[in-house]
Amino acid sequence: MLIILLVIIFMIGTFFGFMFIQNRLARWLVGGVCFLLLAGSVAMLTLHIKDNWGMKKVNTATSRRIYTAGEKSAPYGVLIKAEIGKDTNNYVFVYRHDKTSDKPEANFKPDEKNIVEAIKKTATYELVDENKAMVTTYTTRRVWASNFYKLLFSVGGEQNELVREHSVVSVPKNTWLVLTQDQAQKLKQEAPAMQKQMTEALKANPQKAAELTGLQTSNPAAYAALQVKQMKQLLGITE
């Protein structure tokens, strides 16, 4: 960090100028100039430490598609959520990164070994009028405003320092379910009985069965929306 070296040099210059130069004009000139430079260097160092002076914030956004945490053969998607704390609107989400993945993964789980970084990261969700589930991550990092400031203040590790990372999972409101772990477990337990009941009802009404089969082929989104509506009724979900 060059600024520390400059502080030391100007401190020595101030001391030398006022203590060892006999000529009054030269003493005040050398001592005064070094003192002003020392004060300026200390002020700049203070601003850098306190307000990250010499650095600027850079914002980026990246998006990627995500896939269901439920049965891959189901016509609808499932996102499992677990809120971190109470009324924080900050979640751990379970979903698949790839359509062919065998198991879903937990995402945005705080790193308990690095709390300083963990508190900078948040994740939430929104229900949208889309047909694909996406996660968009907004990231803010600090970088050096110029090579001059980097030369003055850099001690290593400050470039690309994370300021904030916020992820938003956009979930199709008609064709996906957003469930807690308890709701997902209840769905897993009760869905077979519900499916059996529906199958028996369709056997008793061949015309309705034909309509649903046709809908599943001609309009998969509408068929998925119908399934989601039934699942929400089963689980008592009103959103």
Which parts of 53-180 fold into alpha helices (H)? 115-118, 147-153
Cα–Cα distance for residue pair 35/159, rounded to 1 Å: 31
**Distance from C-alpha of 93 to C-alpha of 98, rounded to nearest angstrom:** 15
For residue 45, pLDDT beyond 70? yes
- Cβ distance 168 to 124 under 8 Å? yes
pLDDT of 141 strictly over 90 = yes
Determine the pLDDT at residue 194: 67
Question: Which is more confidently placed, 113 or 140?
Answer: 140
Spatial distance between the Cα atoms of 77 and 131, rounded to a whole number of angstroms: 10
- Model pLDDT, residue 226: 85
The token duo for 159 is 């470039």
CA pair distance 60, 197, nearest whole angstrom: 49
Sequence-separated (6 or more) residues with CB below 8 Å from residue 31: 13, 14, 16, 17, 18, 21
Phi then psi dihedrals of residue 137, to 5 deg? -110, 120
Helix count and strand count (H, E) for the chain: 7, 8
Q: What residues contact residue 108 under an 8 Å CB cut-off, 6+ apart?
A: 91, 92, 93, 121, 122, 123, 167
127 CA to centre of own chain: 17
**pLDDT of res. 218:** 78
Q: Which of 177, 189, 170 is nearest to 80 (CA)?
A: 177
pLDDT in the model for residue 5: 95
**Chain length of the chain:** 239
Residue 86 φ/ψ, nearest 5 degrees? -120, 125
Model confidence band, residue 63 (pLDDT cutoffs 50, 70, 90): very high
- Residue 203: pLDDT over 80: no
- In this prediction, residue 197 carries a pLDDT of 65
Which contiguous run of DSSP H or E holds residue 45?
Answer: helix 24-51
pLDDT digits (tens, 9 = 90+) for 81-116: 999 999 999 999 999 999 999 999 999 999 989 999
The DSSP element (H or E) to which 60 belongs, if any, is strand 55-65
Q: Return the pLDDT at 205.
A: 65
| pLDDT for the residue 209 | 59
pLDDT digits (tens, 9 = 90+) for 153-173: 998 878 999 999 999 999 999
The residue with greater pLDDT, 220 or 181, is 181
